[in-house]
Amino acid sequence: MKKLLVILFLIPLASLPQSTSFDFHSPKNIKKFADYLFCEGDYIRAVEQYTTVKNIFHSDTINLKIMLSYSNLNLHKQVFEFYLNEIFFEFEEDAQKLYLKNSFLVDSSVFYANLSNNLFPFDMDQAVANYFLKLRSVYFIETRSKEIKKEELLKPFDILQRREVEPFIDLSVNPDYKSPALAGILSAVIPGSGKMYVGEWGDGITALLLTSLFAFLAYDNFKADHSTRAWIFTGLGAFFYAGNIYGSVASAQIFNARIDFEFSNGLNLFLEQKNYFLPDYDFCN
Amino acid sequence: MQALSKDNVTLRPTLPASRQAQCDNCRCSFPFYFIALFSVLFLCTSAFGQLDNLKWKKADLSYEKPDHFRKRNYSFQADDAGEFIKKSFVNAYWFFISDVDGDNCPFSPSCSSFFMDGTEETNIFQATLIFSDRLTRDANPIKKNRYPHGISGHYYDPATNYTLNQGRIKYLPPEFIVEDE
């Protein structure tokens, strides 16, 4: 009897989900799923889902999210195309900023030339123009241009951002380069000193020891009338002496390349951390 | 039959009455089932073991040190006499000394290949200076954290960085691992 009751209870319970019509693919649920994907960082699939419901909701938020997704995927061309094909209302300013950011990422020099020739497909209001000036400052910092004064480069940034951007401006104008010519001259006077000047102490000491050793051996053999050996050591000494001068110049150049690399890397890291001065959208909380 | 069952009772006096009744009723005893199951398992595992020869076969081991260095060009093809003389010296060094000595240069490309690259990038005079500088850097025992590594574990140090052409220098940080040496 008990078993029969349990079966009678379970049959309708099992059949209930089958009979209930739950539409997983309703626009509302697709949007919910797209929101979930967007917040999880699965931008490719989020865009797919948003695109299917975009024309049903006619929401600015969805359009901006699609643009943000393309931007986060570095699909710059799609960002431009999407902006040109859609009409924004509430987020027009944000969409324009995203457009600018992506044109800056494609090629900063083209980005700057576009403004000079008024090639952007929109008129900028005050906020967007200020955002453009920020990116323009970054462009001048990146290219180490001295066209614009420091005060003017800092002007578009607020006080907190100025503190962060200022060291980059200082480094771009006065990089900690080493002079290749000075390194060469130093090594010509005291072998290895040019390398020490560049900061390569190990190489500098090795060059000094090698050159000194062969110079001493040449001198000692000349003194002892072993002219053949003396000339061999003279040749080896000259070989390492000349190489030490050349190497010091090359080391100074490599040092400068390292300074450029670290500056560029640091600036890019800073820009990525700051999301290229775009606002932090609170879509996922 | 009664006598047998009595005997069994005397052999297992500690069993409870209900269990005793079960044992008396069953046709085959517990040891029989155990032996049968063990035999089946034993046969199966033995048969599987025969098929598992691939796992236990002799491994093809090679004790040769893997050579990650790029393939050397031993040809004597040259456009001019100077090139031919240079190639002859380098080929002789590779064939009689370097290949016999083994992969001992800490750098990639090796010093001799670096010299060859130097001559291709610049001229024989400048390449000699680059080579001399490389030998000095090679003699320095403290090279760690100064050069990026190649996948072979050697310090990656291409000749293009030493042509005195600032635009051609490709700086890579020491923590970088170069895949295409």
Q: Which residues of A touch B140 (CB under 8 A)?
A: 202-203, 205-206
Cβ A256–B128 below 8 Å, yes or no?
A: no
Sign of the four-CA dihedral A71, A73, A79, A82: negative
Q: What percentage of residues in chain A have a pLDDT greater than 90?
A: 61
**Which of B150, B146, B168, B149 lies closest to B159, judged by CA?**
B168
- Angstrom distance (rounded) from CA A66 to CA A82: 8
Nearest Cβ partner for B164 among A202, A250, A260 = A250
ipTM score above 0.95: no
What pLDDT is recorded for position A18? 63
C-beta separation of A255 from A199 below 8 A: yes
Confidence of residue A146 (pLDDT cuts 50, 70, 90): confident
Mean pLDDT of chain A: 89
B154 contact partners, CB below 8 Å, separation of at least 6: B68, B105, B106, B107, B108, B181
The Cα of B102 is separated from the nearest Cα of chain A by a number of Å equal to 25
Query: Which of A157-161, A184-188, B13-17, B165-169 is predicted with the least confidence, judged by mean pLDDT?
Result: B13-17
Please indicate, yes or no, whether the overall pTM of this predicted structure exceeds 0.95: no
Q: Rounded mean pLDDT of A166-170?
A: 92
Mutate to test the interface with B, among A178, A203, A210, A245 (most CBs of B within 10 A): A203
- Angstrom distance (rounded) from CA A274 to CA A279: 9
- The per-residue pLDDT string of chain B (181 residues; one tens digit each, 9 = 90 and over) reads 444 444 554 455 565 666 665 656 556 677 888 899 999 999 888 887 776 676 777 778 888 766 655 678 888 888 888 888 888 999 999 989 988 888 888 998 899 999 999 998 999 899 999 999 999 999 999 888 889 998 888 899 999 999 999 889 999 999 999 887 6
pLDDT tens-place string over residues A226-263: 999 999 999 999 999 999 999 999 999 999 999 999 99
Q: Rounded mean pLDDT of A141-158?
A: 88
What pLDDT is recorded for position A13? 67
The Cα of B19 is separated from the nearest Cα of chain A by a number of Å equal to 30
Q: Which residues of A touch B164 (CB under 8 A)?
A: 180, 246, 249-250, 253
What are the C-alpha distances in Å from B127 to residues A168, A187, A243, B84, B115?
A: 38, 19, 10, 16, 6
Helix (H, G, I), strand (E, B) or coil at A20: coil
